[in-house]
Amino acid sequence: MRTVLITGTSSGFGLLSTVELARRGWRVFATMRDLDRKGPLLAALDAAGVRNAVAIGRLDVTEPASVREAFAAMLLATGGRLDAVVHNAGVAAGGAFEDLPDEDVRRVLETNFFGVLDLTRALLPAFRAQRAGRIQCRARQRSSATRPTRSTAPRSGRSRAGPRRSATSLVPSASRWC
């Protein structure tokens, strides 16, 4: 059975992707920052009848220890096998640029950019060992053109452009092994 790790599955695209992949026969490791928010995911999985195909765990991409623990637990459960990862987790900070506190901008970049890099760095050894693996980043198409005053767009879009650019540079080094 193919296995996939998805981040940010408590709601939105992550939740729907988890259900869709489980429905297609994947074994899904659905992760989220706060396990108290797993209710909607469980309800969706029960409704789709795929509850048994999904393991839910805690993973905060901004905490390296959390990344290591979740990844180790997942590899233990699968016997060291992981076929794919979906970098879905992301946060946004709203407001005009000059109104945004610095900590909000840093929080967005920590999650949307450095979180992707840290998790990718953690899983690459497993992909190299099995000489296969697929890394998928969900990014905004309009990551360089966002509305300045809308509540969810401003910093989220630019921070999502980072992983997209990083993926471009990762391909030559990773594809040689994977």
Partner 1 sequence: MQYVFRAGDAQVVAVAIADVLEAQQPAFRDPVARIARTAHFLRGKVPSALLRRIVGRYLGLDRVRL
State the residues that interact with partner 1 by CB under 8 A.
4, 12-13, 16-17, 19-21, 24, 26, 84, 86, 88, 96, 134, 136, 138, 141-142, 145-150, 164, 167-168, 171
Long-range contacts made by residues 120-123, C-beta under 8 angstroms, separation at least 24? Answer: 120/85, 120/87, 120/170, 122/67, 122/68, 122/71, 123/5, 123/71, 123/82, 123/85
Transcribe 147-162 into DSSP letters: -SSSSSSHHHHHHHHH
Quote the least distance from Cβ 144 to partner 1, whole Å.
8
Quote the least distance from Cβ 139 to partner 1, whole Å.
9
**Would you say 107 or 116 has its CB closer to partner 1?**
116
**Would you say 88 or 120 has its CB closer to partner 1?**
88
Quote the least distance from Cβ 21 to partner 1, whole Å.
5
**Would you say 40 or 68 has its CB closer to partner 1?**
40
Quote the least distance from Cβ 73 to partner 1, whole Å.
21
Please give the DSSP secondary-structure letter assigned to residue 87.
E
Contact 61, 115 (CB under 8 A): yes
Quote the least distance from Cβ 64 to partner 1, whole Å.
25
Q: Please tell me the distance from the alpha carbon of residue 100 to that of residue 47, in angstroms, as a whole number.
A: 40
Burial class (CB in 10 A: 0-12, 13-18, 19+), 6: buried
**Would you say 69 or 124 has its CB closer to partner 1?**
124
**Would you say 128 or 164 has its CB closer to partner 1?**
164
Transcribe 113-138 into DSSP letters: IIHHHHHHHHHHHHHHHHT--EEEE-
Quote the least distance from Cβ 18 to partner 1, whole Å.
8
**Would you say 20 or 104 has its CB closer to partner 1?**
20
